[in-house]
Amino acid sequence: MQQAALESTLSCNRLVMATTFCSRAVPSSIAAYVNVVEFSQSRDGLEEMFLDRFLRLEKPRMQDTRTQVVDVSIIIMIAFNKLTSPLHSPLLDLQTALIML
């Protein structure tokens, strides 16, 4: 019984061989026991892949930082408007008086 289970397990497992060569270059005696996966990667492709991954991981952090900067900018603008609004009225009165002269 154990022999049959072992043979069944062994027959289900296959090796995978990764190569940059064409799969037709693998001899048929080896190809019967392995799955051949053709794979090649250029330097430009690797750079693009790493850049995409970096941006995907960093984009949420950059968005959070942008949101924080915008929030602080709005708070500063509101405070600035509150501080300068009392000055606007006297300056407008002065400008009007100068125009009337």
Between 63 and 42, residue with greater pLDDT: 63
CA separation for the pair 41, 50 (Å, rounded):
13
Residue count of the chain, please give it: 101
User: What are 5-24's pLDDT values in tens digits?
Assistant: 434 444 556 666 666 667 67
Name the β-bridge partners of 34: 15
Residue 38: φ, ψ to 5°: -85, 130
Place of tokens 């407008």: 92
Average pLDDT along the chain: 75
User: Looking at residue 90, what is its pLDDT?
Assistant: 66
